[in-house]
Amino acid sequence: MGRLADKVVIVTGGTAGIGRGTAALLAAEGARVVVTGRQEAAGRDTVAAIAAQGGTAHYMRQDVTLEADWPTTIAATVKKFGRLDALVNNAGDCILKPIEDLSLDVVRAMVRINLEAAFLGVKHALPVIAKTGGGAIVNISSAAGLKGGIGGTGYSAGKGALVAFSRAAALEAREKNVRINVVHPGFVWGPGVIDAMGEEGAKRFRAACIARTPMKRVGVPEDIGAMVLYLVSDESRFVVGADVTVDGGYMAV
């Protein structure tokens, strides 16, 4: 039956990286997963990969920064699967630049995707999840939301604010039997790193990440997905408003 048998979960940014790895793990444990994102081909690839492993998934195009997309996505999910039990606010973006080279527009874009999108998700999903009798919302932040890094001021601003928002929202959601928690990934390896930095840049970055991580390896999407699985499942029924780091010990140093 699986740990998430019959549960319906939306995973935003589920077309690649952490989102794709998480969606696959949730589906493997019996969840019916709605994968959302702006890249239709990648979204359908994710769904096909899940189906090949015997899971149930459906892709919906969504821009999480547009409020109008949220009620549409949630209503379509309920229409297809009959309910909504959980939301994983995974969609995000990272632009690294020194402060003097960072425009206000870029900072606002970082806050919009890394904070405001999660706010919209919580706002619109909370009452629908409550109607099923309760469930869970997991917001994906970052170690950068807890610890500074050179060039990451815009990114850290959005992710750090997400932490404070999630703690406050968790108190309100508790009254509706919906648990909100935050996961802070450390250095997670994926194709997006190479796309952003190129082969040589990514190679140097990987070596630097390994050197700064006590476990001496970078994370993979499934490392984060395993924690999300726990927080979405009923096993974490007494976990509310928590900040959970999944970082190979990076924050312990």
> Which domains, from first to last, does the chain contain?
8-190+221-242 (3.40.50.720)
Nearest to 80 by CA among 53, 45, 63, 56: 56
Query: Would you state the structure tokens that stand for residue 23, as one six-digit string?
Result: 């969606």
Predicted pLDDT of residue 196: 65
- Per residue in 19-42, pLDDT tens? 999 999 999 999 999 999 999 999
Active site residue 155: yes
Q: Is 19 exposed, middle or buried (0-12, 13-18, 19+ CB in 10 A)?
A: buried
Query: In terms of pLDDT, which residue wins out, 117 or 94?
Result: 117
pLDDT band at 197 (very low <50, low <70, confident <90, very high): confident
- Per residue in 64-89, pLDDT tens? 999 999 999 999 999 999 999 999 99
Q: Is 148 exposed, middle or buried (0-12, 13-18, 19+ CB in 10 A)?
A: exposed
Query: In terms of pLDDT, which residue wins out, 200 or 73?
Result: 73
Element (H, E) at 183: strand 178-185
Given the residues 59, 155, 230, 250, select the one marked as catalytic: 155
Once rounded to an integer, what is the mean pLDDT over residues 159-187? 97
Using a pLDDT cut of 70, give the percent of the chain over it: 99
pTM listed for this prediction: 0.95
What is the average pLDDT value for the chain, to the nearest integer?
A: 94
